[in-house]
Structure 1
Amino acid sequence: MRSVVVFVLGDVGRSPRMMYHAESFANDGFETYIVGYHGSKPTPALLSTPHVQFFYLHQLPQFFSRLPFMIVTPIKIIHQVLAVFITLLFTVPNTPEFIIAQNPPSIPTLMVMWVISYVRPTKVIIDWHNLGYTILALKLGETHLMVRLAKLIEKYFGRIAYAHLFVTNAMQDFLVTRWNLRGLKIVLHDRPPSHFHRCSPSETHELFCRLDPNLTSCSSLRSFLPEFEVPYSTPFTMGVPTAPSIWSLRDGTPSSVHFPTLRAERTALLVSSTSWTADEDFGLLLEALDIYNRVASAKGGEKTLPRILVMITGKGPLKDMYMGKIQRTQHAWDFVRCTSTWLDTADYPLLLGSADIGICLHSSSSALDLPMKIVDMFGCGLPVCALDFACLQELVRPGWNGLIFGSSEELAGHLISLLRGFPRSPTLETLKSAFVKTLESPSPSSAHSFSSSTDVCQGVGSKWEWTSWADNWNEFVQPIVSESHISQQ
C-alpha cells in the first residue's frame, strides 16, 4: 500500500484537522501513520478506520516545566528533535511517500521536515493552520529577539515543500506574496466530518441524561434550571410517556418514555468552545453576560428574554483563572449561569447540535486563520456570534449564518436581539434557516464555490453553501496525492 505520515507536534486528540486528514488518507488507500503526543482520545471514526497506526512521541519529563521559559525552551526543542528523528527514521516502517505536517508549532517541525525530505525520498506537505511566530509574540511581544528569530526560521524552512495547504485565502495570499513559497499551493477551508449534524429532541434528551451529574453537582445551577427528573425529563427536553415501549439510554438505564420533545419553557443554551489561551478574552463574554442580565432583569425584560445557560468546553492554562472570575460574578445574576465541562469526542458534536447559539472569542494572532470551533458549529447547524478580525468573513456571513461583534456591548446587543421571544425568536430562526436549506440540499460543487468565490467570501452574490470535510478533501487534496498526478511530476 502507499503510505503517509500525519505529523502533529502536539496532542493528536486535540488536533481535529490532522485527524480528519489521517482518516481521509486511510480511506483513499494509504497506510497511515500518525505521529504526535498521546493525550486526548482521538475521534471514534479514526480509531475504527483500517490501516491507521499511532506512534506516540515521548514527552519531556514533567520536572523540566518548573524551569524558567528561556532555559526550558532550548532543552525542549532538542528533546523534540531527537524524538521526532528517531520516530520518523527508525520507528515508522518503510519510507512514507508523504509526510503532512501541521504548522504551528514551527520549531522544530519545519526544520525537521526539511531535513527528512533530504534524508528520505519523501514528499512533504505543510498544512498551514497559523503562523508560529505570531503565537510566540502573544507571550513575548513582537519585538523580542526570540520572536524575530522564530519568524526567520519559519520563513526559511517553510518555504519549500511538495505542497502547501492553507486554511484561508488570506493566509495563502500573505505567504505566497511575502515568503515566496515553492510547491503546490491549495486553500483547504476547514470543514467538519459528515457525522456533525443538528440534533433531534431524542438525541438532546439522551445527551443531557448523561450530563446530569454535571448539572446537578452544583446546587446554584440546579435551582437555576427548570425542574427535571432524569430519565423522564432534562432542563431542555420532556419525555412523552408510552406504554409498552422501552427506550434505553446509552448507559443501559431503561425508561418508559419515548419521543422526547423540547420544553417550551426551556432555558436558552449557549456554547463556547475554547483552549483557554491568551487569544480568547473571556472577560469580554463576562461583560456581555452582565449587560444581558441587567436588561433581562429590568421591568418587562423578564417577559421577553429567557434565562440562559452558557456551557464552556475545553482545557487550557487560563481555565482556573476565568472560571474563578465567573463563579465570583454570576452569584449576583438572575438570568445567566455559566458552567465548564469536558466532553468526550462523541458528545461534543451532540452538544453543539443541541445548542441555540455558539459563541466564538477567538482573536487570530496572525489575523490569517479561522477558528475550527466555528466550523464545528456550522456543521451542527448552529449560528454563531463571533469576535471580528480580518479574514473572518471567509467563514461567517453576518446576518446569514451568524453575527460579528467587536465589543462586549455589541455581543450583548446580539444576544438580546437573537433571544427576544425565545424559543420562537424570528431573528434566531432566520439564521438557523440558512443551515436547514444547505444541509437538506447539498451542492456537489459547494466546496469549490465556497473556497474560491470572491463574492461568497465577501458575503454577497450567490447563496451560502456548505459541505463536509470528505467532499472538500476529495476535491482539493486527493488529486495532488493521486498516483496519476505523481507520475506526471
Structure 2
Amino acid sequence: MAPLKVLWQTWGLFAALAYRTAPAKFTLVQNPPSIPTLLVAHLACLLRNTSLCIDWHNFGHSILALKLGPRHPLVQISEKYEYAVSRSAPVNFTVTDAMARILREQYGRQNVVPLYDRPPTHFQPCRSEEARKSGFDALSKRLGWPDENGPTRVLVSSTSWTADEDFSILLDALAGYSVVAASRNLPTILAVITGKGPQKDYYLSRIAAMESEKKLEHVRIRTAWLSMQDYASLLSYADLGVSLHMSSSGVDLPMKVVDMFGAGLPVVGWSQFEAWPELVKEGVNGKGFGSSTELKELLLDLFTRREELAKLKEGALKECEKRWDDEWDEKAGKIFV
C-alpha cells in the first residue's frame, strides 16, 4: 500500500501544480521535502513555461543521513537528485549565508539570495514584568498546571522529539542545576516543553524515572501541545528559551529561535554547527553550549546573575524588531516584481 500511497500523493501534487493552480511566472517551492517535490515542481514548470524558484531551508539528503548514515546509497542518490533537479532553478533562496556558499561552491549555483527567517507578527514581546507574571499565571491555570511556590524561572523549549535534537542534554543539565540549587537556595526552574514527535514517550518515561529518583527536586517539567496563540504568549512570558537543534547539514537554523526572538526571549542553544553565529550573537541576544555541563553552567549563571539575563533580554528585544515582511520586501520582493 505504501508505494501506491506515494504514487497517489505524487500525482496529486503534480495535478495541483500543473492543472488546478492558475498559471504564474514563478513557482516557489520549499526544500526539503525534496522527494518527490522538487522533481514534480520541475516537471510542472517545464509544462507551463514557469520559472522554478527554490527556498532552501536545509538539504533533504542531510536529513535522510540522520536515519541511514551519510554513506548509505539512498543518501548519496538523494544528494545527486537534489543537485540535478535544482539546476533548473534560476533563483535560489537560502536561510543562511553558509548554505548559500555551499550552493555556490559545491552545486555551482550563481543566483543565490540569503533570505533569513524572521518572526511573524503574532510573536510579540511582553515588556512589563507584572504583565508577564499575570499572563503566565493565567495561562498555567487554564492549562491545569499547579501553582509554583517561591522564586521560579520559566524556561521554554520547543522540540520535535526527533534524532536531530538530543533532549537528554537538557534533562542532564536540569538535573545538574537541581543538585546545585539544593545547596545554594537557587530559584526553581519551571521547564515547559512543547511539541510532538516519535521520541516523546521515551523521554516522558525518563523524566518520570528521574523525578521518582529525586533528581529534579528543584525543577518542574511540564509538557504541552499549544495553539499558535498560546505558544506565542508563552514565549513572551518566559525568562529563557532553549534550542537543542543540532543541524543535520550544519548550515540551517532553528526556526524556534527566530520565534523566541520575535517574542523578545533570550536563547541558549546547541552551537556546534557553522551557521549558529548567523542567528545568535554570543553574549548579546543569547549564548551557545556544546554539552549538558555547559548548559548547566549557563542556567546557573543566568538564573543567579539577573543583570546578565537582563542584558540578553535587551538584545533579544532588539532582535524582535526585524520582521518577515521587511526581509521579504528587501531581498525577494524585487525579484518577483
Same fold by TM-score greater than 0.5:
yes
| Shift, 1:145, TM fit | 1.3
1:420 to partner: Cα distance: 0.8
Matches within 5 A, 1:262-341: 265-298=150-183, 301-302=184-185, 305-331=186-212, 332=214, 333-341=216-224
Does the CA-based 8 Å contact 1:268-1:308 persist in structure 2? yes
Which residue matches 1:97? 25
User: Paired residue for 2:87?
Assistant: 159
- What amino acid does structure 2 have at the position aligned with 1:133? H
Q: Which structure is higher in RCO with an 8 Å CA cutoff and minimum separation 6?
A: 2
Any conservation in 2 of the 1:191–1:467 contact (CA below 8 Å)? yes
Change over 3 Å in CA distance of 1:357–1:130 after alignment to 2: same
Identity across aligned pairs (percent)? 42
Counterpart code for 1:169: D
Determine the structure 1 residue equivalent to 2:282.
398
User: 2:198 is aligned with what amino acid?
Assistant: P
Contact 1:95 1:121 (C-alpha < 8 Å) held by counterparts: no
CA distance in 1, matches of 2:211, 2:12: 46
Give the aligned partner of residue 57 of structure 2.
129
- From 135, 156, 168, the equivalent of 2:96 is 168
Give the match's secondary structure for 1:317. Answer: coil
Change in 2 beyond 3 A, CA 1:427/1:157 = same
| Runs of 4+ displaced beyond 6 Å | none
- AA aligned to 1:189 is Y
Instruction: Give the direction of change, closer, same or farther, for the CA distance of 1:479–1:296 in structure 2 (3 Å limit).
Output: same
Displacement of 1:338 after TM fit? 1.0
Structure 1 residue identity aligned to 2:58: N
The one-letter amino acid paired with 2:160 is S
Normalising by structure 1, what TM-score?
0.65
Would the aligned equivalents of 2:14 and 2:41 in 1 still touch at CA under 8 Å? no
TM-superposed deviation, 1:330: 2.4
Measure the CA separation in 2 of the matches of 1:170 and 1:361.
20
Contact 1:204 1:350 in 2 (8 A): no
Question: Matched residues in 2 for 1:291 and 1:393: separation?
Answer: 27
Residue matched to 1:360? 243
Is residue 306 of structure 2 the alignment partner of residue 378 of structure 1?
no
Rounded Cα–Cα distance in structure 2 between residues aligned with 1:143 and 1:149? 10
Correspondence 1:138 to 2:66: yes
User: RMSD across aligned C-alpha pairs, in angstroms?
Assistant: 1.8
Give the conservation status (yes or no) of the 8 Å contact 2:195–2:225: yes
CA–CA separation in structure 1 for the residues paired with 2:86 and 2:15: 22
Q: Which has the larger radius of gyration?
A: 1
Residue aligning to 1:348: 231
Structure-2-length-normalised TM-score:
0.93
**TM-superposed deviation, 1:206:** 4.1
The one-letter code matched in structure 2 to 1:269 is V
- Stretches of structure 2 that go unaligned for 5 or more consecutive residues are none
Work out whether residues 330 and 337 of structure 1, in 8 Å CA contact, stay in contact via their aligned partners in 2. no
When the two structures are aligned, how many residues end up with a matched partner? 332
Which segment is superposed worse, 269-278 or 194-203? 194-203
AA at the equivalent of 2:123: F
The residue that corresponds to 1:473 in the other structure is 328
Change in CA separation of 1:75 and 1:180 when aligned onto 2, cut-off 3 Å: farther
CA deviation after TM superposition for structure 1 residue 80, in Å: 2.4
Instruction: Give the unaligned 5+ runs of structure 1.
Output: 1-63, 65-71, 217-221, 227-264, 440-465, 483-489
Secondary structure (helix, strand or coil) at the match of 1:146 reads: helix
**AA partner of residue 297 (structure 1):** A
